[in-house]
């Protein structure tokens, strides 16, 4: 496993994470949190912007348990520890979590909200890559969790439309029993990797694949403001016969169908549970880091449960659970202060990479990258 200088402190981790925080995409104004005097029965959950609007967290819990259901989408159990996170929510609250289309892309989450609008099966909450989140704010309901003040300003929309939650390191997973360790991007053009290299999805739709092309661009002499070198490299990979246009899953990795995968470190590390020879490496050079974002569907069929889910996701308990799965939670500093973050887990989640090498696009850079991908991606890998 390739790594560089160890992180010097948890504070340094958060400083680096702030670089990759999404730029605020709406005009800041104070959220109306209500007086907190009304009980849950008097509250329109769909317009509540904090637990105080219900009369406090206990009243929110009561309202959510009365609904009894929560619809989530695009949350594989092996993704960032979501299996345990969902099970913990169901155990703590008397609420059934309905998990739909676990392998859906971020773009497909939004499409599902359109297709299922007004139905009981519509998604209540979203878990989105940065590019799709910034393009989809019209779908979100503002909400500020009780731990709001411990989430850095750079990592949240000021109204609470979206909030950065967890991040991974863009990495390469490979079958060490069959393939040599790639130590440079150009190694993947060699015959050892014929028909072997996959991305996790389509970069015009999926956050992990978008980040993979951004990472490749940075490693190939470009940057987060210029995805061109990343697209060019993928075209070279396709010409060499090494690009595998098959979306990887834990099953395809275990079966050997996808022998090399660009993906978030937490996914690649998790894949080793079913395939012990699966090894994760981070190449020397610029290291791509980007947050996934939590948001509430403004048309959620279970609006109180959706808001309780947000409270759960940003609690100390669950933020620490992300670390257990090699994902870096946005509230890592708060966890450190509370004594609930293990420095060894932080090092493990970041692969010992130095924050000086971390890169991630701003909103404007994301928009530019999306435009370039829309123009060139299909032709490059055709």
Does residue 72 sit in the same domain as residue 189? no
In a domain, 149, yes or no: yes
Phi, psi for residue 298 in degrees, rounded to 5: -65, -20
Using one digit for the tens of pLDDT, what is the confidence trace for 246-281?
999 999 999 999 999 999 999 999 999 999 999 999
Strands 260-264 and 197-199: parallel
Average pLDDT value for the chain: 88
Give the separation between CA 50 and CA 15, rounded to whole angstroms.
27
Burial code of 281-307, b = ≥16 C-beta within 10 A, e = fewer? Answer: bbbebbbbbbbbbbbbbbbbbbbbbbb
Does residue 99 sit in the same domain as residue 152? yes
| Percentage with pLDDT > 90 across the chain | 74
Does residue 303 sit in the same domain as residue 272? no
Using one digit for the tens of pLDDT, what is the confidence trace for 63-92?
999 999 999 999 999 899 999 999 999 999
Give the model's confidence band at 8: pLDDT under 50 very low, under 70 low, under 90 confident, else very high.
very low
Does residue 237 sit in the same domain as residue 364? yes
Give the separation between CA 221 and CA 216, rounded to whole angstroms.
9
Using one digit for the tens of pLDDT, what is the confidence trace for 173-206?
999 999 999 999 999 999 999 999 999 999 999 9
Give the separation between CA 123 and CA 68, rounded to whole angstroms.
14
- Overall domain count for the chain: 2
Using one digit for the tens of pLDDT, what is the confidence trace for 208-223?
999 999 999 999 998 7
Region of residue 302 (left: phi > 0; alpha: psi -120 to 50; beta: else): beta
The domain in which residue 214 lies consists of 169-288+360-381
Nearest to residue 237, comparing CAs of 182, 175, 171, 279? 182
Does residue 230 sit in the same domain as residue 367? yes
Does residue 143 sit in the same domain as residue 232? no
| CATH number of the domain encompassing residue 61 | 3.40.190.10
The predicted model gives 283-294 an average pLDDT of: 92
In a domain, 11, yes or no: no
The predicted model gives 332-359 an average pLDDT of: 84
Using one digit for the tens of pLDDT, what is the confidence trace for 84-119?
999 999 999 999 999 999 999 999 999 999 999 999
Task: Answer whether 31's CB lies under 8 Å from 49's CB.
Answer: yes
Give the model's confidence band at 22: pLDDT under 50 very low, under 70 low, under 90 confident, else very high.
very low
Give the model's confidence band at 12: pLDDT under 50 very low, under 70 low, under 90 confident, else very high.
very low
């Amino acid at each position: 496993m390739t790594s560089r200088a160890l992180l010097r402190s948890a504070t340094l981790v958060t400083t680096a994470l702030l670089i990759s925080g999404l730029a605020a995409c709406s005009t800041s104004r104070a959220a109306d949190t209500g007086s907190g005097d009304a009980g849950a029965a008097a509250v329109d959950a769909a317009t509540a912007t904090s637990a105080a609007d219900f009369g406090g967290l206990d009243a929110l819990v009561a309202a959510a348990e009365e609904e009894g259901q929560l619809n989530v989408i695009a949350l594989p159990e092996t993704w960032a520890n979501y299996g345990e996170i969902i099970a913990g929510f169901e155990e703590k609250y008397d609420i059934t979590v309905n998990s739909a289309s676990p392998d859906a892309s971020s773009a497909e989450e939004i499409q599902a909200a359109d297709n299922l609008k007004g139905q009981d099966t519509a998604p209540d909450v979203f878990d989105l890559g940065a590019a799709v989140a910034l393009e989809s704010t019209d779908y979100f309901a503002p909400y500020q969790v009780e731990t709001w003040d411990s989430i850095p300003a750079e990592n949240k929309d000021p109204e609470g439309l979206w909030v950065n939650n967890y991040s991974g390191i863009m990495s390469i997973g490979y079958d060490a029993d069959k393939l040599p360790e790639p130590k440079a991007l150009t190694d993947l053009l060699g015959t050892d990797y014929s028909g072997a290299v996959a991305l996790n999805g389509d970069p015009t739709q999926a956050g992990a694949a978008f980040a993979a092309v951004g990472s490749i661009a940075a490693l190939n002499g470009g940057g987060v403001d210029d995805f061109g070198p990343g697209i060019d490299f993928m075209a070279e990979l396709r010409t060499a016969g090494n690009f595998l246009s098959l979306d990887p899953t834990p099953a395809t990795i275990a079966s050997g169908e996808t022998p090399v995968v660009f993906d978030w470190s937490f996914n690649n590390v998790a894949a080793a549970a079913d395939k012990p020879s699966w090894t994760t490496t981070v190449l020397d050079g610029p290291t791509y880091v980007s947050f996934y974002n939590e948001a509430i569907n403004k048309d959620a069929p279970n609006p109180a449960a959706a808001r309780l889910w947000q409270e759960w996701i940003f609690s100390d308990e669950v933020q620490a659970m992300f670390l257990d799965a090699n994902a870096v939670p946005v509230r890592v500093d708060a966890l450190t202060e509370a004594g609930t973050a293990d420095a060894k887990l932080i090092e493990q989640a970041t692969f010992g990479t130095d924050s000086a090498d971390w890169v991630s696009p701003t909103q404007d850079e994301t928009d530019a990258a999306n435009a370039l991908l829309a123009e060139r991606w299909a032709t490059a890998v055709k």
